[in-house]
Amino acid sequence: MQLCCMSPEHSEENEAEESSSSSESDSEGQPRPKTKVIRVRPLSWRSDRLVNLLNSLDRKHMRKISERARSMMKKRQVGDVLEQRAPDSVPAWMVKKTD
């Protein structure tokens, strides 16, 4: 799983329960909260150039934010590719070329 800082892809929010035993509770005796996971589905029409650009921006953003902000990020789980047409308003360099 990866940390999520931007979710440009179609995403669905899931709650995944962490396996917890009585020894894994916090200092007040309360069980640990559920971990939120964002499931993202890459878009089929995106060009490699666009995907690389978005990944680069994600990495740069993660380097710039504080450790506290980074710890509040939700986990990102990559799912299946979402097959759909590119919007008409998208520049040609962002769209994957078809043979």
Interval 14-35: pLDDT, tens: 444 444 444 444 455 666 666 6
Interval 39-76: pLDDT, tens: 999 999 999 999 999 999 999 999 999 999 998 989 99
CA pair distance 33, 25, nearest whole angstrom: 9
What is the SS3 assignment for the chain? Answer: CEECCCCCCEEEEEEECCCCCHHHCCCCCCCCCCEEEEEEECECCECHHHHHHHHHHHHHHHHHCCHHHHHCCCEEEECCCECCCCCCCCCHHHECCCC
Q: For residue 63, which phi and psi values (nearest 5 degrees)?
A: -70, -30
pTM, 2 dp: 0.61
Domain boundaries, the chain: 1-14+36-82
